Chain A
Amino acid sequence: MSAPVQFRDLVVELGFVTSAQLGDALARQDELNGSGVRSHLGHLLEDLGYLTPAQHRLVLVQLDMQRALAALPTVRRSARHGWVVAALAPVALLSSPLAILAAAAVVLVGAWLAQGRPGRWLALGWAASVLVPGAGAATAAAAGQGGASPRLRESVLVALIIAVSAAVPLLPIALSPGHLLLIAALLLALLRRRPR
């Protein structure tokens, strides 16, 4: 992936400041940084009278757009919290405790038999939905788990969350994905031990 677009490059490219003016601002920024003051290049250029506030906003918008376009075709690498989705899906699809327990069983058996093979995950979910009436959740759990996080340790965690969700009498309103996303976000924030 190419290097992200920098503010300093864009402001010159758009013709709002010259290279010499940019050099002035960068020198001033180094001075300030040396004395422990953090300053944004855009604000410095404004303070020095090289950039108007409107031009500053325009550069920031352009910067956002260019970064957005650059990021669109890329592949997201992080799968650290994929298990959250795998646990969320069957809870959102909650139909009956038996179906939810079937989902937990599929996740556990799949971690052993299917591992990283999505086809096998799908087959397991399919089999569960045939064996247990109304176990659409099992298929979703299997698919989510197969696509998200095939490792055994996380699969056990997902199965536990699903099983607990079948046992705990949740209020119907708490079953909307919005609430589940909120709960997941708060849980992850609370459980976080160290910043990334």
Chain B
Amino acid sequence: MNHYDASFLAIACALMTERPRRWWLAGAIPALAFALTLLPLGHFAAIVAALVACTPPLRPAAAALLLAAPRYPSVRAAAVSAGLYLCGVAVLAALLEDRLDQDAVPAFLRGTPARLLVLAVAYFSLLPVAHL
């Protein structure tokens, strides 16, 4: 799983589970995970990042842990991942979430399936950009 995949799974996670009040703090996890790889910690870098992701302000920590999972090759990758997560949750949660729950959406797609579809379409739409 690369950082791009992790960002989308984290967005899906944030949309479908209870978000902590300070959900945006998880946006700092990619930068932290990248910074830890610069230290001589070896495999412990991932473990330390996972521990930080489990700190109380980020609970429930599933989204933060998903962001801590991949290995970030550069600071740019970490920034892209954080940006994707923050924009994804903000846009999907704030702008689309209510609309996707409305009666205009067919009943079998309403709510979670529609959210996942939007996320999947966004994943494939942005994939070429991620390879630049």
A interface residues, Cβ below 8 angstroms from B: 64, 67-69, 71-73, 75-82, 84-86, 88-89, 92-93, 118-119, 122, 126, 136, 139-140, 143-144, 146-149, 176-179, 181-182, 184-186, 188-190, 192, 194-196
A147 to B107, CA, bound (A): 28
CB-based contact B12/A72 at 8 Å: no
The 5 closest A-B pairs by CB, nearest first: A147-B62, A195-B107, A147-B60, A185-B116, A178-B123
> What A residues does B17 contact at CB under 8 A?
76, 79, 82, 85, 147-149
A118 to B50, CA, bound (A): 11
> What A residues does B95 contact at CB under 8 A?
64, 67-68
Q: How many A-B residue pairs have CB under 8 A?
A: 162
A81 to B47, CA, bound (A): 27
A-B contacts, 18 of them at CB < 8 A, read A72-B94, A76-B17, A78-B16, A79-B18, A88-B12, A92-B5, A93-B1, A139-B50, A140-B65, A143-B62, A143-B65, A147-B63, A177-B8, A177-B123, A181-B117, A188-B112, A194-B107, A195-B110
- Asked if B127 lies at the interface with its beta carbon under 8 angstroms from chain A, I say yes
> What B residues does A139 contact at CB under 8 A?
50, 65, 69
> What A residues does B50 contact at CB under 8 A?
122, 126, 139, 143
B interface residues, Cβ below 8 angstroms from A: 1, 5, 8-9, 12-21, 46-47, 50-51, 53-54, 59-63, 65-66, 69, 90, 93-95, 97-98, 101, 107-117, 119-120, 123-124, 127
CB-based contact A148/B16 at 8 Å: yes
Asked, given contacts A71-B94, A148-B17, whether A178 binds B124 with beta carbons under 8 Å apart, the answer is yes
> What B residues does A147 contact at CB under 8 A?
13, 17, 59-63, 65
A64 to B108, CA, bound (A): 25
> What A residues does B124 contact at CB under 8 A?
178
A176 to B126, CA, bound (A): 13
The chain B residue sitting closest to A85, CB to CB, is B13
CB-based contact B116/A182 at 8 Å: yes
Main secondary structure on A side of the interface with B: helix
CB-based contact A143/B66 at 8 Å: yes
The chain B residue sitting closest to A119, CB to CB, is B54
CB-based contact A178/B8 at 8 Å: yes
A144 to B61, CA, bound (A): 8
CB-based contact A84/B123 at 8 Å: no
Which residue, A140, A178, A190, has most C-beta atoms of chain B within 10 A? Answer: A178
A179 to B127, CA, bound (A): 12
A187 to B116, CA, bound (A): 11
> What A residues does B117 contact at CB under 8 A?
181-182, 185
A182 to B109, CA, bound (A): 12
A126 to B62, CA, bound (A): 14
The chain A residue sitting closest to B18, CB to CB, is A79
CB-based contact A72/B65 at 8 Å: no
